[in-house]
Amino acid sequence: MNKENSKYNYPNPERNKGTFIVKVDYCQRNTWQGRVIWAEENKILRFRSALELIRLMDEALSEGQDIQILAE
């Protein structure tokens, strides 16, 4: 894959930027559960694992994608 065409080639001035505040409520089953606040959009989302947290933040920054809000 060409570095110039990679969507993970940072920094990209056209890519959205985001500020996230992560609040870990519990650490169970070797992972985190809690809330993430997307500061620019003033949205609060719950996550059930560290992997889900990363996925939510990645979706928030991806161009043309909506964040999927999971049931609490």
Which pLDDT value is given to residue 54?
94
Phi and psi at 37, nearest 5°, equal: -110, 125
What tens-digit pLDDT sequence spans the chain (72 residues)? 455 555 555 555 555 578 899 999 999 888 999 999 988 888 899 999 999 999 998 888 885 445 555 544
Q: Is 50 exposed, middle or buried (0-12, 13-18, 19+ CB in 10 A)?
A: middle
Domain ranges of the chain: 18-72
Which pLDDT value is given to residue 71?
45
